[in-house]
Amino acid sequence: QVPTWYQLRTTHALSFWPYARAGGSELPRAASRVFVPIWICHALLIVKEHYTTFDNSHIRDITDSLIEHCQDKKKDVNANIQLPEEKIVNLVNDLFGAGFDTVTTALSWTLVYLVTYPDIQKKIQNESDQTIGRERRPRLHLLLYTSLNGYYIPKSLCVFINHWQVNHDETLWKESSAFNPEHFLNAEGMEINRMESDKVMIFGLGKRRCIGESIARWEIFLATLLQQREFSICDGQMVDGTPQYGLTMKHKNCEHFQIKQRFPNKSFE
């Protein structure tokens, strides 16, 4: 059983109890005074480099797109929506903080579980071979929109979702703490049960749901990885799945991963 304070720590308790901020420990504030300026400086350097090398005929990434947007709005005196240049630094900072750490953490945790449970990895690969084949690359589908049916939410009410409770609800999931991707299959075990998979709320709900959902679903390309590669752990080594709590819940470093090509005699582009 995971202690309640651990669960809250993962999602930052101060987000739920704002009154606690004034009397909180000095340690987080001291760390913020050191870390935040460094983080903003890093984003500022990236933005300055993009301004220096900007070419509106060759948009390289989202930072270039933001710069182009600023320049277009400056030319349009009637534009109602303006994006100040200094806001670009904040936007880039948010993208780094919310986009990179979460995706890499999700991928690394999944690989930790797959090498810990090689039988499940083999099931996924066998199904991939039978359904997709060894040539065609799979695409992950977007989640359907999910609403809170039957619940009245007054205007201006601040609503938080207890992700831990929803995704570990024993009334929805049998053995909810076990690593079992078959949770989401139908009774025959042949297809995804959409009603079951839609109950997983990893990106939140409503206007404040994760804006990087679509990007994350493109980056977490597990089906392709397992179609072409096999992951394992070195003989005699153990995987330590003890969680390390923070902004995102990470696992300890694992230096004994092995990656093999499943079809070594065939070349892939």
CB atoms within 10 A of CB 226: 21
Find the farthest-apart pair of alpha carbons in the chain and give their distance in angstroms, rounded: 68
- Beta bridge mates, 185: 192
Q: Is 210 annotated as a binding residue?
A: yes
User: How many Å apart are CA 229 and CA 262, to the nearest integer?
Assistant: 5
Angle, nearest 10°, between helix axes 62-75 and 85-95? 160
Residue 61, both tokens: 């990434």
Burial 39-51 (b: 16+ CB within 10 A, else e): eeeebeebbeebe
Q: Which positions make up the binding site for heme?
A: 210
Q: Which positions make up the binding site?
A: 210
